[in-house]
Structures are given as C-alpha cells and as structure tokens.
Structure 1
Amino acid sequence: MNFNDYGRCMATYNSWQNGVLFDLCAQIGDEERRRDRNMFFGSIHNTLNHLLYIDLRILGILKTGQAGTYDARTIVADDFEDLREQRIAMDKEISAFVDATDHAWQDDYRELMGLDGVTRKLPRQLFLMQLFNHQTHHRSQITSELHKVGLDYGITDVPLTPDLPL
C-alpha cells in the first residue's frame, strides 16, 4: 500500500466512523451532549467541534501549506445538526483531497511551531497522518462517554471498514 492508498483508506474509515459517532450522539440529546463530563474540551459537543476545527486547519495546511492562528476556543458550529452537516461536508472534502490526482503536496515541507514553542520543518504527509490520528484520539474520548450512558459504539477496526478502497 502506498501513501495515496493509505489516505484513501483512512478517509473512508473516518467518514464511516464519524457517521456512527454522530448517529449515536444524536440519540443522547442536546443536554447530554453539552453536559460537562470532565473531558479535555468539557463536553461531547465541544469535542465534536474541536475535531471539525482541527480538520479545517489541517486540511488548510495540506492544501496550501498555511493555517491561521490557533484558538482552542473556536466554535465552528453551535447547533448539532449544523455541526453534523459540516462534519459530512468535511469528510467529503478530505476524501476529495486524497482522491485528487495531483500529489505534489507530498513532496513539500511546512514549518510548524508546536504548542511547546519549538519550530519544526515537517513533511506535509505527516499532517495527513495527524488528521486521521487526531480524529481517532478524540473519537475514543467520546465513545468512552457514550459507553458510560449505555450506548455501544460497535466496531472500530480499520480492516472492517465498509467499502474500503483497496
């Protein structure tokens, strides 16, 4: 599997997992989604917002090499249905990006100053990996909270992704 295949497989996986996640989150209602659960971003709703915000930033880096100033308090969508629609659109945009035939961005590097204050020169491919890793990380926080309210998240194994483009 080459890097382009990796990107397509992970985009398909993330779209599937995000669909499952939003379907389950819809079942618990707005009050439960917004309840402070002592998660890193407080609530499930805020964590879903954070995921979308970071995806917007990382996709910007992948497409242009640039991202605006980071603000951890950014709310992309306050309404759950709007957030779901934007999540679906973002997943389609990620898929379109990895399906594109121009992969010249893979040969490019980007300087990034981390929250630790250290500037690093990194291949842009790492940012695609980070996008997928970051989603998995925060989805697991949300699935843990869903489990606590009795909702079974189900399968999360990449090889079992429906319609995996191999």
Structure 2
Amino acid sequence: MTKMNFNDYGRCMAAYNSWQNGVLFELCEQIGDGERRFDRNMFFGSIHNTLNHLIYIDLRILGILQTGQADKFDARTIVAEDFATLKTRRAAIDAEIAEFVDAADHGWQDEIRELQGLDGVTRKLPRQLFLMQLFNHQTHHRSQITSELHKMGLDYGITDVPLTPDLPI
C-alpha cells in the first residue's frame, strides 16, 4: 500500500489497540486483584478503576460513532466489578471497534454532530474526530497503567504502531 485513507487509519488503529489491550490485560492478570485495586494515586485511583474507565469511555464513544448521540457522562462509572468481566468486555469492545471500522458503510464519516462537551460548550464536530479520540484516549490511559506496571518491575514491551502484528494494510 502506498497511501492510507481514513478507513485504513481506523482499521490500523483498531488492530493496534486490540493488540495493546491484550498485552495490558495479560500483565494486569499477572499482578493479581489486590495490586489491580490498590490505590496508586492515579487519576482514577487504581489500575482496576482505570481499566473500567477505558471501557466506559470506549462504549460512550462507540455510541457517538454508531448513533451520533451520547448518554449523560459520569467519568467514574464502574462497568465491571471483577477482572474476568473486565477482560471479557475489553475483548468484546475491541471486536466491536474492529467491526465498526471494517463496515462497508462509511457515510457516517461525513456527518457533523452537535454535542455539548464536559465544559458545557456545544460544538459542531465531525464524527471522524470521535474515532480519533477513542484511540487517543485509550493510549493516554494505557500509558498511566503501563507506568504503574513499570514501577512494579513489569516490562510492557513494544508499543510502536508500525510493529502491530497482522497490521491490516
């Protein structure tokens, strides 16, 4: 491939995020529930709460992408109390993201939506921007968790997008 378009971007980032989330959950499984729930003074307190936040926001952004609408926002929503459910939900959401970006109908990309932000300001924004935000948000909070894992002596490994296994381009 010599040139990428927005659809290629979506497919590549969906594959990347699925790979990185898999690595993240494997390492988080190794540290046990006590370490995952320990308050590390992260923005959401614990690794467990940060994993919950990631899933909650992914579901929220997927809703915007799929319907153009957003439910009322609560940043501290708990999606799952236990790690096994979090892990299952993560894999299902990653599959849903991949299915969304791989769909044949990309008409949503040209749509502008009017949404009120957390700052109370209503903006007219292209729905494409929310797909970018989904991937950016995941990277942001994964890095918070990987920093904590590093402090525990766990090597997270490679995070470079071009090294994504089975990159779909």
TM-score, structure 2 as length reference: 0.97
Pair 1:21 & 2:27 matched: no
Counterpart for residue 14 of structure 2:
11
Counterpart for residue 85 of structure 1:
88
Counterpart for residue 38 of structure 1:
41
1:68 to 59, 67, 71: 71
- Which secondary structure state, in structure 2, belongs to the residue aligned with residue 110 of structure 1? strand
TM-score, structure 1 as length reference: 0.99
**Which digits, 9 at most, give the CA deviation of each residue in 1:100-149, with x for residues without a partner?**
00001001111122222211100000000000000000000000000000
Aligned residues: 166
Q: Percent identity?
A: 83
2:132 to 95, 120, 129: 129
Task: Output the CA distance in 1 between the equivalents of 2:14 and 2:118.
Answer: 26
* Alpha-carbon contact 2:10-2:101 (below 8 Å) kept: yes
Tell me the amino acid that sits aligned with residue 74 of structure 2: D
Task: Output the CA distance in 2 between the equivalents of 1:32 and 1:38.
Answer: 13
Pair 1:115 & 2:118 matched: yes
Counterpart for residue 164 of structure 1:
167
Tell me the amino acid that sits aligned with residue 163 of structure 1: D
Counterpart for residue 143 of structure 2:
140
Structure 1 unpaired stretches of 5+: none
Task: Output the CA distance in 1 between the equivalents of 2:139 and 2:107.
Answer: 26
Task: Output the CA distance in 1 between the equivalents of 2:133 and 2:113.
Answer: 14
Pair 1:52 & 2:50 matched: no
Task: Output the CA distance in 2 between the equivalents of 1:118 and 1:14.
Answer: 30
Tell me the amino acid that sits aligned with residue 44 of structure 2: F
The residue correspondences of 1:97-116 to structure 2 (distance < 5 A) are 97-116=100-119
* Alpha-carbon contact 2:44-2:76 (below 8 Å) kept: no
**Which digits, 9 at most, give the CA deviation of each residue in 1:42-79, with x for residues without a partner?**
00000000000000000000000011100122110111
Task: Output the CA distance in 2 between the equivalents of 1:128 and 1:57.
Answer: 11
Task: Output the CA distance in 2 between the equivalents of 1:162 and 1:90.
Answer: 19
Task: Output the CA distance in 2 between the equivalents of 1:97 and 1:73.
Answer: 26
Task: Output the CA distance in 2 between the equivalents of 1:94 and 1:49.
Answer: 17
- Which secondary structure state, in structure 1, belongs to the residue aligned with residue 146 of structure 2? helix
Structure 2 unpaired stretches of 5+: none
In the TM superposition, structure 1's runs of 4+ consecutive aligned residues that sit over 2 Å from their partners are: none
- Which secondary structure state, in structure 2, belongs to the residue aligned with residue 112 of structure 1? strand
